[in-house]
Chains A and B, each alone.
Chain A
Amino acid sequence: MRGRLLAFIYRHRSLQLLLLLVPPAGWFGVVYLGSLAVLFVAAFWSLDPLTSAIRHELTLRNFQQLVTDGVYRVVALRTIGIAAIVTVTDVLLAFPLAYYMARYARPRTRAILFVLVLLPLWSSYLVRVYAWRVILAQGGPLEWGLAQVGIPGVAIYPSDLAIPIVFSYIWLPYMILPIYAGLERIPGSLLEASGDLGARPGTTFRRVVLPLVFPAVVAGSIFTFSLTLGDYITPVLVSNSQFIGNVVFDSQGVAGNVPFAAAFAMVPVLVMALYLIVARRLGAFDAL
């Protein structure tokens, strides 16, 4: 009986696909897209100023407030700007290390580096942020070290500068791994061929390595950019500034203004959509 059933499934490809895809599609459709749809609709609701009850009529009031109120513009620009800085910093930090791991390191060294790259992910996010707070604070190792070389009084915590430093560290593994995978897929013979045809190492890098690894860099940047864009813990812990996430948190928690929170939460979604469109235009997904 069981054999017959398996044989039946084996013969019907569509049934196989159905069994394969129903669980993730159900999860994705209901939980993920459903909540996104609710978010989208809620952004057009509003809060009754007198009763603090939610009015289920569609209005653009929330978005109007976002655009006209300078405070929110500053928060949004700060969030996006820092996300961009973090992404660029991580590309610059991750590339040489990933290049070394993919092209030069022996298997043993590579394994050790892999563990070191992944190790921070095993510890709590909060512990890592607090560790940075200690490093950057007044009287911390950074200030002490800089004072030894004649630059006294540098305490970065708490400040806006601490935010990108901590984020760059926390999201670095998400940049290293895709770039490593991208570099590893480039056959060594391509680099040899380029040199053989007269290209100096710099030219080989620009014309062969970079174009081939570009999709991997974009993949990593999607992680670092979107993770920074959506975070609201680190800014609170290392600075006195707010991210979009903090405003969203306060709006729906303290103020109980879910519609406004939803509207502001739409901003990172739109920025990410724009980001992906640009990446697509640049050919980052051609290989998919």
Chain B
Amino acid sequence: MPIAPADHEDVRARDPAGSAPVAAVRLEGLVKRYGDVTAVERIDLEIREGEFFSMLGPSGSGKTTTLRMIAGFEAPTEGRVLLHGQDVTGRAPFERDVNTVFQDYALFPHMTVGENVGYGLLVRKVPKDDRQRRVADALRMVRLEGYERRKPGQLSGGQRQRVALARALVNRPRVLLLDEPLGALDLKLREEMQIELHQIQHQVGITFVYVTHDQDEALTMSDRIAVFNQGRIEQVGAPAEVYERPATRFVAGFVGTSNLLTGSAAEAVVGRAGMFTVRPEKIRLEDPGSTAADDEYAADGTIASVVYLGSDTRYHVALAAGGELVVTQQNLTTSSTEALEQQGRAVRLVWKRQHTREVAEA
């Protein structure tokens, strides 16, 4: 298939009416099946120009397969992929204006760092002077100046990760796809890179599509999140929205701690049947018999177990009406011994009604 005329430079393409901006990525009824196994089950999604968009979900939820269909490594069984309004479903990866940062970095081991970063420019026949300048710029952006001549084998995991990022960004793609890029790094480095990635995204203004199974990562970095489960998207929204107003039981459980009131507990506490969720940090631990205000719910129970987490403590409370709720409290005044001594204590849990969300089963 021939490459369409270069629309690379007409940034922020608009629709003919000239009003609403065209989505950077648009997925229409996307399905991917491998034989009998369905990896992606009819996904519709719009990713806006310039946003940091995360696809969050457990392994096997279809998020990586979706990313690979945007990149062009996998052909969808059904549906279309549009990049800036253009149907690219049938195009090969080298005909799409997107670049990917791979989970295993996929750096070419026989090339130096400079050659790796310059590879995309070389194969697109960018003149040498221009190439060298852009490679140097890209390496400066990821704070790896002077590493041009090293081989990937001589770098640490974090450095390789940055080379992979520079190698993708140097081509100035309109969309950057990142497949769990921080998965192989240790916690400390991961947190550093999260901040750095976020800054770089703001600096370059490229649309980032970020695949992760780490809810904290998605919540910290994203403008919007799509929560994937079993090949479907369960909810799309800003981090605060997804966290505070989960649409389904799965989202409530996967983003944050699953704190569900169902069946008899729901009727006893909320007053009607249904499935309700409340975030653990919204709940206060009170003495049994203490009164709740009019705009609050209350539930009696016993502290079944205590997990001391340093800055916080997590209490698992078995409810008298059945079920269990998790309560987290900052250790503002409590010491670890005090926290652990709470085990077995009878308590009353109190929280604002507005923090209770009714969720759908799926």
B102 touches A193 (CB 8 A): yes
Given contacts A197-B119, A207-B123, contact A192 B109 (CB under 8 A): no
Alpha-carbon separation in the docked complex, A211 to B92 (Å)? 23
B123 touches A199 (CB 8 A): yes
The residue of chain A having its C-beta at the shortest distance from the C-beta of B118 within the complex is A197
Most buried by B among A187, A193, A196: A196
Judge whether B93 is part of the interface by a CB distance below 8 angstroms.
yes
The residue of chain A having its C-beta at the shortest distance from the C-beta of B119 within the complex is A197
Residues of A contacting B104 in the complex (Cβ-Cβ under 8 angstroms): 187, 189
A198 touches B106 (CB 8 A): no
Query: Could you tell me which residues of chain B, from 80 to 105, have a CB within 8 Å of some CB in chain A?
Result: 92-94, 98-100, 102-104
Q: How many residues of A contact B (CB 8 A)?
A: 17
Alpha-carbon separation in the docked complex, A208 to B106 (Å)? 11
Residues of B contacting A194 in the complex (Cβ-Cβ under 8 angstroms): 108, 119, 123
**Interface membership of chain B positions 97-131, coded 1 if the CB is closer than 8 angstroms to chain A and 0 otherwise:** 01110111011111000000001100110000000
B110 touches A197 (CB 8 A): no
The residue of chain B having its C-beta at the shortest distance from the C-beta of A210 within the complex is B110
A198 touches B102 (CB 8 A): no
Judge whether A212 is part of the interface by a CB distance below 8 angstroms.
yes
A190 touches B123 (CB 8 A): no
Alpha-carbon separation in the docked complex, A194 to B120 (Å)? 8
The residue of chain B having its C-beta at the shortest distance from the C-beta of A195 within the complex is B93
B106 touches A187 (CB 8 A): yes
Alpha-carbon separation in the docked complex, A196 to B97 (Å)? 9
Judge whether B167 is part of the interface by a CB distance below 8 angstroms.
yes
Residues of B contacting A52 in the complex (Cβ-Cβ under 8 angstroms): none
CB distance from A284 to the nearest CB of B (A): 12
Given contacts A195-B92, A195-B93, A197-B120, contact A211 B110 (CB under 8 A): yes
Judge whether B171 is part of the interface by a CB distance below 8 angstroms.
yes
Alpha-carbon separation in the docked complex, A230 to B8 (Å)? 60
Judge whether B317 is part of the interface by a CB distance below 8 angstroms.
no
- In the complex, which of the residues B93, B103, B108, B110 contacts A196, with contact meaning CB atoms closer than 8 Å? B93
A198 touches B108 (CB 8 A): no
Residues of B contacting A197 in the complex (Cβ-Cβ under 8 angstroms): 94, 99, 119-120, 123, 167-168, 171
Judge whether A4 is part of the interface by a CB distance below 8 angstroms.
no
B92 touches A198 (CB 8 A): no
Alpha-carbon separation in the docked complex, A207 to B110 (Å)? 10
Residues of A contacting B167 in the complex (Cβ-Cβ under 8 angstroms): 197
Residues of B contacting A192 in the complex (Cβ-Cβ under 8 angstroms): 71, 73, 93, 100, 102, 106
The residue of chain B having its C-beta at the shortest distance from the C-beta of A189 within the complex is B106
**Interface membership of chain A positions 166-201, coded 1 if the CB is closer than 8 angstroms to chain B and 0 otherwise:** 000000000000000000000101101111111110
Alpha-carbon separation in the docked complex, A199 to B118 (Å)? 12
- In the complex, which of the residues A189, A195, A208, A211 contacts B94, with contact meaning CB atoms closer than 8 Å? A195
CB distance from A188 to the nearest CB of B (A): 9
The residue of chain A having its C-beta at the shortest distance from the C-beta of B73 within the complex is A192
Given contacts A192-B73, A192-B102, contact A198 B120 (CB under 8 A): yes
Judge whether A252 is part of the interface by a CB distance below 8 angstroms.
no
A203 touches B123 (CB 8 A): yes
CB distance from A218 to the nearest CB of B (A): 14
**Interface membership of chain B positions 126-158, coded 1 if the CB is closer than 8 angstroms to chain A and 0 otherwise:** 000000000000000000000000000000000
CB distance from B121 to the nearest CB of A (A): 9
Alpha-carbon separation in the docked complex, A187 to B102 (Å)? 12
Alpha-carbon separation in the docked complex, A117 to B107 (Å)? 33
The residue of chain B having its C-beta at the shortest distance from the C-beta of A186 within the complex is B109
B94 touches A199 (CB 8 A): yes
The residue of chain A having its C-beta at the shortest distance from the C-beta of B179 within the complex is A189
Alpha-carbon separation in the docked complex, A207 to B124 (Å)? 13
Given contacts A187-B104, A192-B102, A207-B123, contact A198 B110 (CB under 8 A): no
B94 touches A190 (CB 8 A): no
CB distance from B190 to the nearest CB of A (A): 20
Most buried by A among B72, B73, B106, B109: B106
Residues of A contacting B109 in the complex (Cβ-Cβ under 8 angstroms): 212
CB distance from B176 to the nearest CB of A (A): 11
CB distance from B201 to the nearest CB of A (A): 19
Given contacts A194-B119, A198-B120, contact A189 B102 (CB under 8 A): yes
Residues of A contacting B100 in the complex (Cβ-Cβ under 8 angstroms): 192-193, 196
Residues of A contacting B119 in the complex (Cβ-Cβ under 8 angstroms): 194, 197, 199, 207
Residues of B contacting A199 in the complex (Cβ-Cβ under 8 angstroms): 94, 119, 123
Residues of A contacting B71 in the complex (Cβ-Cβ under 8 angstroms): 192, 196
The residue of chain B having its C-beta at the shortest distance from the C-beta of A212 within the complex is B110
A190 touches B106 (CB 8 A): yes
Residues of B contacting A193 in the complex (Cβ-Cβ under 8 angstroms): 100, 102, 106-108
Alpha-carbon separation in the docked complex, A200 to B93 (Å)? 9
Given contacts A190-B108, A211-B110, contact A198 B171 (CB under 8 A): yes
- In the complex, which of the residues B72, B94, B103, B107 contacts A200, with contact meaning CB atoms closer than 8 Å? B94
A208 touches B108 (CB 8 A): yes
**Interface membership of chain B positions 291-321, coded 1 if the CB is closer than 8 angstroms to chain A and 0 otherwise:** 0000000000000000000000000000000
CB distance from A214 to the nearest CB of B (A): 9
List the 7 closest pairs (A to B, CB-CB), nearest first.
A197-B120, A189-B106, A193-B106, A199-B123, A195-B93, A196-B100, A211-B110
Q: Other than the known A193-B107, A195-B72, A196-B72, what 11 A-B pairs have Cβ atoms closer than 8 Å?
A: A189-B103, A189-B104, A192-B73, A192-B93, A192-B100, A193-B108, A196-B93, A198-B94, A198-B120, A199-B94, A212-B109
Selected A-B contacts with CB under 8 Å, 16 pairs: A187-B106, A192-B71, A192-B106, A193-B102, A193-B107, A193-B108, A194-B108, A195-B92, A196-B71, A196-B100, A197-B120, A197-B123, A197-B167, A199-B94, A199-B119, A200-B123
Using CB atoms and an 8 Å cutoff, list the residues of chain B in contact with chain A: 71-73, 92-94, 98-100, 102-104, 106-110, 119-120, 123-124, 167-168, 171
Using CB atoms and an 8 Å cutoff, list the residues of chain A in contact with chain B: 187, 189-190, 192-200, 203, 207-208, 211-212
